[in-house]
Amino acid sequence: MKLFKNVDIKDLNNILEKGILPISKTGNDNWEDDYRTNNSKDVVYLFSAKNGASFVNYGLALIEVEVEATINEMSENDINKDSYIEYICSEVKPSEILNVYIPNFVDFNDSRVTKVDYSCKYWTIEGLENLEGSARNQFEATAPTSTSDFNYLRGENLNETMIDTAKWFYEI
């Protein structure tokens, strides 16, 4: 089945070479204390979005895979319960990676990666609005793109306030 996973840009080279492996094999557990639910570290988590969104809080790279996986029941209090169906498998081999998508403003060049346009909202005094025009240009010029970066995916306005985004969609 065709499923997806968002990952950090900095992990793409390893993933393209070795596939998507569980935390127990990679040791790549970058969750802050008390922020990770009690999920197994011995499986890979994938998703099928209910509304087509990308879940950039896990990373800007969206990986499309073709694998056999089983549904993983999410807890009732999981913040993403209504956003996607979660699946698990033991690993994703490099040959099972169909596509890798990243937003076109990200500085990452690899022939195996497709740069795509995106849309998202950002917070203004009036509420959520489409990120476009000069606000989008400023966001793209100033937002850190790795989940390990301070203020990940938060741009900076000319007046030094933050540009906070939400509801990301990749045009794939």
pTM for the complete prediction? 0.89
Pinpoint the residues of the chain covered by CATH 3.20.170.30. Answer: 2-103
CATH entry 3.20.170.30 includes domain 2-103: yes
Cβ proximity of 63 and 14 under 8 Å = no
- Which positions ≥6 away from 64 have C-beta within 8 Å? 2, 3, 4, 97, 98, 99, 100, 101, 172
Digit-coded pLDDT (tens) for 17-40: 999 999 877 766 664 554 445 676
Average confidence (pLDDT) over 131-140 = 97
Q: What per-residue confidence (pLDDT) applies to 36? A: 45
Asked which of 34-38, 137-141, 145-149, 163-167 is least confident by mean pLDDT, the reply is 34-38
Average confidence (pLDDT) over 61-84 = 91
Average predicted confidence (pLDDT) for the chain: 91
Digit-coded pLDDT (tens) for 78-126: 888 888 999 999 999 999 999 999 999 999 999 999 999 999 999 999 9
Average confidence (pLDDT) over 40-53 = 88
Q: Quick one: pLDDT band at residue 146, thresholds 50, 70, 90? A: very high
Q: What per-residue confidence (pLDDT) applies to 81? A: 83
The count of other CB atoms within 10 Å of the CB of residue 170 is: 21
Spatial CA neighbour of 30 closest among 158, 171, 149: 149
Average confidence (pLDDT) over 126-139 = 96
Cβ proximity of 84 and 55 under 8 Å = yes
Tokens at 69, concatenated: 């996986």
